[in-house]
Amino acid sequence: MNRIQKQFSERLNRGEKLFVPYIMAGDGGLGVLEERLTFLEQNGAAAIEIGIPFSDPVADGPTIQKAGIRSLKEGTTLKSTLIKIGEIRSSINVPLVIMTYMNPILAYGIDQFVVNMEKVGVDGCIIPDLPIEEEDILATKLEEAGIELIRLVTLVTPKERVEKIAKKGQGFLYTVTIKGITGIRNEFDKSLVNFLEMVKEVSNIPVVAGFGVSTAEQVKELSLNCDGVVVGSRIVDLFYENKLDEIAELMKAILIEEKVFRG
């Protein structure tokens, strides 16, 4: 069983919800990566999504784009990030998921990418610009290496396509909560609750909602209708501002909500 499946299954069986923070690799330099991963693990992360800086990030909003630019100025690459993960992996127990785009993977070399992902202990990857119709270029190789390809569905994904995508995954189904790029939102589309309920109904794997989630109230609200949440832009901002206490408080929100569930 992949580390993501094992971790998520254990937590969900205990009645817990899943908090998955996102960070940008190399924002502040790769030297802080171990420290930040350890901090997030200690504060209850079910898995951690590690973004790879890229010059044309089609799914990323202003906050993550700025973090990516800062990281690129530090000289961060997909290769250097994987090397760093390999150096620190033995001290990190939580599942690690790489978020990148196809261009860096193609430049790296697909076979070498998969080999090194497995070698350094990465458990999954998210590739927003890889549709399921084109994923054969990579999906089988990842599966053979025991690495989960985390697929996405959005508010405009028809139910039939959600069912098709959900059947392909083993880790979790990343459910995008907004019609657009990442970034902080004050409110969500009124159709979101119904959409999450539909995705939960058709998916046999955990449903984790992300994009636009930035407050404790949103974490609580969204986790009522799915298995967990991804928080990206807010975590990136708070690390950049060195507001670690606020990150810890945000991550506690999902645990506080769980106490309410249990009565």
The CATH number assigned to the domain holding 40 equals 3.20.20.70
pLDDT tens figures, 154-191: 998 999 999 999 999 889 999 998 754 454 545 566 67
Helix extents (H) in the chain:
3-13, 33-42, 62-73, 78-88, 102-108, 110-120, 139-144, 159-166, 192-202, 216-223, 233-240, 244-262
Q: Give residue 106's pLDDT.
A: 97
> Residue 261: pLDDT above 50?
no
Q: Give residue 6's pLDDT.
A: 95
Handedness of CA 235, 157, 169, 217 (dihedral sign): positive
Q: Please list the residues that pair with 208 across neighbouring strands.
A: 174, 228
Contact between residue 251 and residue 41 where contact means Cβ atoms under 8 Å apart = no
Residue 227 exposed, middle or buried by CB count within 10 Å (0-12, 13-18, 19+): buried
Q: Give residue 64's pLDDT.
A: 92
pLDDT tens figures, 96-120: 999 999 999 999 999 999 999 999 9
Average pLDDT, the chain: 91
In whole angstroms, give the CA distance from residue 197 to residue 217.
19
**Angle ∠(82,84,88) on CA atoms, nearest 5:** 115
Range of the domain at 161: 3-262
Active site residues: 49, 60
Q: Are strands 228-231 and 18-24 parallel, antiparallel or unpaired?
A: parallel
Q: How many domains does the chain have?
A: 1
Contact between residue 162 and residue 203 where contact means Cβ atoms under 8 Å apart = yes
Between 221 and 24, whose confidence is greater? 24
